[in-house]
Structure formats: structure tokens, C-alpha cells
Amino acid sequence: MKLLRETIRRIILEGPVKDSFDETWHNVDEERGEFPLDPGVAGTMHRDQLTSSFSTGAVPDAWSNSATAEEIEELFKNKRDLKRLWNEVIEANDLRSFWEGPKMRYFHSLSYYGSPSHGTDKMQTDQTDDADLQDLTAYGFFQEYDKTGNKDEMSTYGIYDGKHQIPRQQAKFGVIISGRVTIATMDDAFTESRSKASPKDIRIHASSGMPKRIMPDDDKVDSLLFEEDDIKDFGRIGECIIDNWSIEAIVCSPNMEFELKNSAKILSMQYKVPFITPKDLGVKLK
């Protein structure tokens, strides 16, 4: 299976960038197979954790299908290829300045899995079931990560020119981050979760940081965004992955309980980052 990376470097892409990408992605020697598990299951697990879950039989009841070692190998090869090609197309078309420019902001929710009042101060690992996942508290997040130079790729909600798809519950608490955008989609991309990494996964990526990649199936490929016109044409923006990121602000709803809100304000002063509310992101809360 061969991607036309050298071709992209040699030619000036004509027409909509998304169309050029699709043509290149599908121009392979053999058809890419569909992975036998739901993207919400397979997409959010790191490689060793996914492999060992099947080899040990420690899989959630909801997993009605199985996957072979060869299928898992092919899945992660395609994930890497898809992400690499997206970035090559962005570079070839000088689009990085848009994704990392003033029209874009990126919000990472600290209430994605539930209430920020019931988060954990220590990052979970080796998880397989979404029902067991917890958010990091603000304290835990700032213990795990620095203000700048963070290597673990992070899932965010893209905010374009004040427009976004952040659910109200998830907008109540989180952080604004900035960094290198490594993929952008119009939906939930089902990327790998840091909590769904085995100790081996963590060791493998210790120097480079934990990666996040989308499922390489047709639905997820169709959801990719490349340029500003894509956001305007489709009318929405969803999950965007940020690498080498810095914390720009803490976001906290004024309706949060005093203890959590006060802790967030203390962290804001300690790390010298602004303390803002969801309203500053354009999110209206009841």
C-alpha cells in the first residue's frame, strides 16, 4: 500500500483541498479493509491495550466481534498514514497559518466524562470501558502537564470565529490550549484516549508523547477538514488534535460549586493564565 506523498510535494494541488486529499487517500494499490469493531471501541484504544484486550479475553461485554493481530497491525498503519497525509496536504497548501492563526481557538474539556466535581487527581491508565473513565480535576491536569511544551497530543473542540459544537455540560470546565494542529474534523473523531493506554503503550511513547489518531474508515475520512471554506461549507467544526501545546486559559462556569471554582482561580493565578467563563467562548449556559 503506497501513499503518493512524493507527488504531493511535487505538484500544486488544484481545486478544493479536500477533493485532492480524497483522491490521494483512495489512490492505493489495494483496498483498505474495514476494521471489525465499532470506531467508538477500537478508535479510542492504544495499540498494545487493544491487542492485549483480545489476547487475554479481557474485553467488555459490548464487544461482540474480535480482531486478529494482522487486522490491528493494518488498523494502526492506516491511522498513521491518514494522519501523515493530512499534515502533508496542510503543509503543501500553506494552510497551517489558518489552523494556528487568530480565527481558531481550541478548548479541552475537563468535564467530558461527567461532572468535574467527581474527577480524579491522577491520570487513569489501562482502562477499556468508557463507563469507568473519569475526568482529571484541574489540580490533576496541572500536575500532569506544564504550562507550555506538552508532548501528549490533546483532543479539543475547535472554535472557529466564535462558532463551535461544544456541548453545554462539557463546556462548564476545561482549558483553552494552543499548539500544532495535527488533524481537524467536523465530528467526534474517536481518537485514542490517554486512559486507554497500557503501561507498554506509555513506555513506547514516553519520549514523543501519546499520539491521537482518527479511525481510517470512510465516515471519519469524510469528516476531515482542511481549509476555512470547509468549515463554512459544512457549517460545523468538531474534534481537533493539538500537539506541543500550551495552556492559554482556564474555563470555569460561574455556576460551579465554590470549592471547585476557587481552586481553578488559584491555579489561574499560580500559572499566570486567564480565568474565563464558558460565555467567553460563546457558550450559553442555563
> What are the structural domain ranges in the chain?
16-281
Q: What angle do CA 153, 24, 1 make, to 5 degrees?
A: 80
Residue 204 class from Cβ within 10 Å (0-12 exposed, 13-18 middle, 19+ buried)? middle
Contacts made by residues 27-30, CB under 8 angstroms, sequence distance 24+: 28/1, 28/2, 28/3, 29/1, 29/2, 30/1
pLDDT of residue 59: 60
pLDDT of residue 66: 73
pLDDT of residue 257: 87
pLDDT in tens, the chain (286 residues): 444 444 444 443 445 898 888 888 887 766 676 777 777 777 899 999 988 887 665 565 555 567 788 888 999 999 999 999 999 999 999 999 999 999 999 999 999 987 777 788 899 998 888 888 888 888 899 999 999 999 999 999 999 999 999 998 899 999 999 999 999 999 999 899 999 999 999 999 999 999 999 999 888 999 999 999 999 999 999 999 999 999 999 999 988 888 888 989 999 999 999 999 999 888 876 5
pLDDT of residue 181: 98
CA distance 136 to 80: 27
pLDDT of residue 183: 97
pLDDT of residue 3: 47
pTM: 0.90
pLDDT of residue 1: 40
pLDDT of residue 239: 97
The C-alpha cell of 174 is what?
476545561
Strands 173-184 and 275-276 come out as unpaired
pLDDT of residue 62: 53
With beta carbons less than 8 A apart as the criterion, state whether 249 and 276 touch. yes
